[in-house]
Amino acid sequence: MNDLRPILLVEDSPKDAELTLAALERCQLLNDVVLVRDGAEALDYLRCEGNYANSEHLPPVVMLLDLKLPKLNGLEVLEEIRKDPALSSTPIVMLTSSREEKDLVRSYELGVNAFVVKPVDFKEFFEAIQGLGMFWGITNEPPPPRAGRNEKVG
């Protein structure tokens, strides 16, 4: 197992997920990238529940969270995470195609760390994702894992 904390990508669009993974791979980060497809699965991963109940993994160095997701949308996921003391310090970047001011405002009200609108242009999209990957995967110092959740620290 890689002892670096993973990047958690929460994205239901296969195309956007593929592009994001390719851009992160191009950064040559050593962090694994975990892809989940909906808000409920994201919470299961973070809480080590459901399909992740027997999984031993470190908490993510950052969560790249899409806004429009099945089951639970990004705002609902963000709210749940910020209410949970064991997860509340998880760094979260809302990565969305929404340009609606209400989504931006609500995301910050709920405690998002950054709000990034996905560029439509392929090259700009790649550059934006690479910048996020480099900052959150290398430059930023994440909070330490909370005791009792995903305790394995390398």
pLDDT per residue as tens digits for the range 45-102? 999 999 999 888 889 999 999 999 999 999 999 999 999 999 999 999 999 988 899 9
Domain containing 133 equals: 7-139
DSSP 135: I
Domain-located, residue 26: yes
Q: What is the CATH number of the domain that holds 100?
A: 3.40.50.2300
The model's confidence at residue 146, banded by pLDDT at 50, 70 and 90, is low
**pLDDT, tens only, 97-112:** 888 999 999 999 999 9
| CA neighbor of 116 nearest in space, from 124, 128, 105, 106 | 128
40 assigned to some structural domain: yes
Say if residue 145's pLDDT is above 80. no
Q: Position 104: which residue type? A: L
If one counts the domains in the chain, the total is 1
Name the token pair of 56: 């031993």
153 falls within a domain: no
CA atoms of 69 and 132, how far apart (whole Å): 20
Is 131 inside a domain boundary?
Answer: yes
150 belongs to a structural domain: no
43 in a domain, yes or no? yes
The CA distance from 81 to 97, in Å, is 22
On the question of pLDDT at 147 being above 80, the answer is no
pLDDT at 30: 86
Contacts of 54 (CB under 8 A, 6+ apart): none
Residue whose C-alpha is closest to residue 47's, from 88, 9, 13, 11: 88
Per-residue pLDDT tens digits for 33-47:
999 999 999 999 999
Residue type, 72: L
**52 within domain boundaries:** yes
Query: Residue 2 falls within a domain, yes or no?
Result: no
